[in-house]
Amino acid sequence: MKRPSPFLLERYFDAREFATPWLLCASDCETRSVGELLSLEPGALERLLALDLGYGTSRGPEELRALIGGFQSGLSADDVVVHSGGEEVILTFCLAELEAGDHVIVHSPCYQSLLELPRSIGCRVSTWSADLSRGGALDLDRLADLLSREKTRAVFVNFPHNPTGFLPSITEWQQLVKLVGESGARLFSDEAYRGSARHDQAELPSAPTLDERACSLGLVSKALGLPGLRLGWAVSRDEDLLARMTAMKDYSTICSSRISEELACTALRNAAQILGETRERLATNRQAAARFFEAHSESFEYQEPIAGPICFPRLRHGTASDFADRVLAECGVILLPGDVFEGGAGHLRFGLGRKNAPECFDRLASCLSRN
């Protein structure tokens, strides 16, 4: 395995994320304090204080796995392996499932590790491009064509999509899962943004409910707004795959933080309330975004995201990184140039999950009006 290249988005955030309070490109939704989370249910503080800090189990506690099974639309505790963040799931899946020389297909642009880890392992990677001129729309014929050319080991997708906010219709999603399953490839479905569709009925069924060989990734970092817990999970109905992924965890974190597991249980028991707040904020912020982009249509080509806390407008003039540098220097608003995504040059990622997004848009508007 060769060393993965630097993760451009993570390096960009590491250098800027806390430089100003006006972060208008985060993919997580408004976060909360430990106290706010514990206040969601009686007895949560006492349970936390009584927690023993020994090692936990490799797969994670039964209660948490059962809650996750429910969150992933009707799966069971046995279908779940708890991980330390979504990122670890991508790592254990790639280590457990891929070998040098395997052909894999990755929907792109995407969160870099979905492309980079298969490449580091020595896989032959074909990218399946989202149509950025149509908000990230899918071309299923193109996927069928890629699958027909050679035997494919795995197909990586992510919906709601980072960075466009695209969400396929249920029919498209079923067609995609069927296409991949019938080809013999394994579907890796990154469902990091589950819970951020406009309402419950708009959420897609988790991939393993449609195909028992599929593996999905979930986490508490985005719609539940708890990235600091570093807690995620792999879900599949293929026990052999889960066992192999669990064995890979012995070389990364062994088990997750007991404190995070306990707090994740509290969050998932109260998911309806947390997601209700998330969806309300996203609706408000989508309106602020719509006003801003309408007033600045000479600078941006904007398509409203179907789901999720992010969108990926195209900048009409100049480079996205020059624009982001200038905006940060002149008004302190942090934007993410699309160049950090392979295939995303010329676009900027905006984040709509934070409470201060309307204020950030106002600052950006007054900065642009000065030029």
Ligand X SMILES: Cc1ncc(COP(=O)(O)O)c(C=O)c1O
Q: Which is nearer to ligand X, 26 or 331 (CB)?
A: 26
Q: In angstroms, what is the minimal distance from the CB of 201 to ligand X? A: 23
Q: In angstroms, what is the minimal distance from the CB of 158 to ligand X? A: 5
Q: In angstroms, what is the minimal distance from the CB of 125 to ligand X? A: 17
Q: In angstroms, what is the minimal distance from the CB of 212 to ligand X? A: 22
Q: Which is nearer to ligand X, 313 or 363 (CB)?
A: 313
Q: Which is nearer to ligand X, 219 or 320 (CB)?
A: 219
Q: Which is nearer to ligand X, 72 or 221 (CB)?
A: 221
Q: In angstroms, what is the minimal distance from the CB of 63 to ligand X? A: 20
Q: In angstroms, what is the minimal distance from the CB of 36 to ligand X? A: 20
Q: Which is nearer to ligand X, 349 or 363 (CB)?
A: 349
Q: In angstroms, what is the minimal distance from the CB of 123 to ligand X? A: 18
Q: In angstroms, what is the minimal distance from the CB of 325 to ligand X? A: 22
Q: Which is nearer to ligand X, 166 or 331 (CB)?
A: 166
Q: Is 113 exposed, middle or buried (0-12, 13-18, 19+ CB in 10 A)?
A: buried
Q: Which is nearer to ligand X, 310 or 331 (CB)?
A: 310
Q: Which is nearer to ligand X, 114 or 331 (CB)?
A: 114
Q: Token match 């991939």: residue?
A: 207
Cβ atoms of 74 and 116 closer than 8 Å: no
* Residue closest to ligand X (Cβ): 86
Query: What is the three-state SS of the chain?
Result: CCCCCCCHHHHHHHHHCCCCCEECCCCCCCCCCHHHHHCCCCCHHHHHHCCCCCCCCCCCCHHHHHHHHHHCCCCCHHHEEEECCHHHHHHHHHHHHCCCCCEEEEEECCCCHHHHHHHHHCCEEEEEECEHHHCCECCHHHHHHHHHHCCCCEEEEECCCCCCCCCCCHHHHHHHHHHHHHHCCEEEEECCCCCCCCCHHHCCCCHHHHCCCCEEEEECCCCCCCHHHCCEEEEECCHHHHHHHHHHHCCCCCCCCHHHHHHHHHHHHCHHHHHHHHHHHHHHHHHHHHHHHHHCCCCEECCCCCCCCEECCEECCCCHHHHHHHHHHHHCEECEEHHHCCCCCCEEEEECCCCCHHHHHHHHHHHHHCC
Q: In angstroms, what is the minimal distance from the CB of 35 to ligand X? A: 22
Q: Token match 């200038």: residue?
A: 326
Q: How far apart are CA 54 and CA 58, in angstroms?
A: 12
Which positions touch ligand X (CB under 6 A)? Answer: 27, 85-87, 111, 158, 162, 190, 192, 219, 221, 227, 232
Q: Which is nearer to ligand X, 93 or 111 (CB)?
A: 111
